[in-house]
Amino acid sequence: MNDATISPADFGKQLGGFGINLLVPHLAAEIKFMTDCLGFAASRVDEGFAILRRPGMVMMLHHDRTYHGHPLINMLPETGARGAGCELHLYDVDPDQAQATAEAAGGACLQKAANKPHGLREAFILSPEGYLWVPSRPLSQ
């Protein structure tokens, strides 16, 4: 199926496993960051909604105004980071490359790429809307 033309009902039927939907006040900025810095492909972009994909992964972004009847909307902060306390890990994404492109993509590197004792090289990058992304790769033997 083609994400650009699929109906919402048909799209929902194909989802399975674990999904992530981020609510954002600035849809275009978050899409730019996720495509330019983290290697997602935007397979559908509407005025208030986007579908982004990486191999084996699908994510959705919704603009705040699309959640007018949703109970979560009243809990969102008017300003500041949206994702405080949540780390979004992307395995098999080069943390050095993501770090190098973060600023130009609208993000900010909170911690430069480093080898960690748990066997991964990771960087901590804040997206324009305040979500903390952790691109990582296994350390080579």
40 versus 56: the higher-pLDDT residue is 40
Residue 13 is predicted with a pLDDT of: 85
Query: What is the percent of the chain with per-residue pLDDT over 90, rounded to a whole number?
Result: 58
Strands (E) in 1-129, as ranges, are 20-24, 41-45, 49-54, 57-63, 87-91, 108-115, 120-126
> What's the Cα-to-Cα distance from 16 to each of 56, 64, 78, 95, rounded to whole Å?
11, 24, 32, 28
Residue 9 is predicted with a pLDDT of: 85
Average pLDDT over residues 64-86: 75
On the question of pLDDT at 73 being above 90, the answer is no
On the question of pLDDT at 20 being above 80, the answer is yes
Tell me the pLDDT tens digit for each residue of 93-128.
999 999 999 999 999 999 999 999 889 999 999 999
**49-54: strand order across its sheet:** 20-24, 57-63, 49-54, 41-45
Domain boundaries, the chain: 8-138
Tell me which H or E stretch contains 29.
helix 27-36
Residue 59 bridge partners (DSSP): 20, 52
Average pLDDT over residues 56-84: 80
Q: Which CATH number does the domain 8-138 belong to among 3.40.50.970, 3.10.180.10, 1.10.1040.10, 3.40.50.720?
A: 3.10.180.10
Residue 77 is predicted with a pLDDT of: 72
> What's the Cα-to-Cα distance from 100 to each of 36, 88, 103, rounded to whole Å?
11, 18, 7
Residue 38 is predicted with a pLDDT of: 96
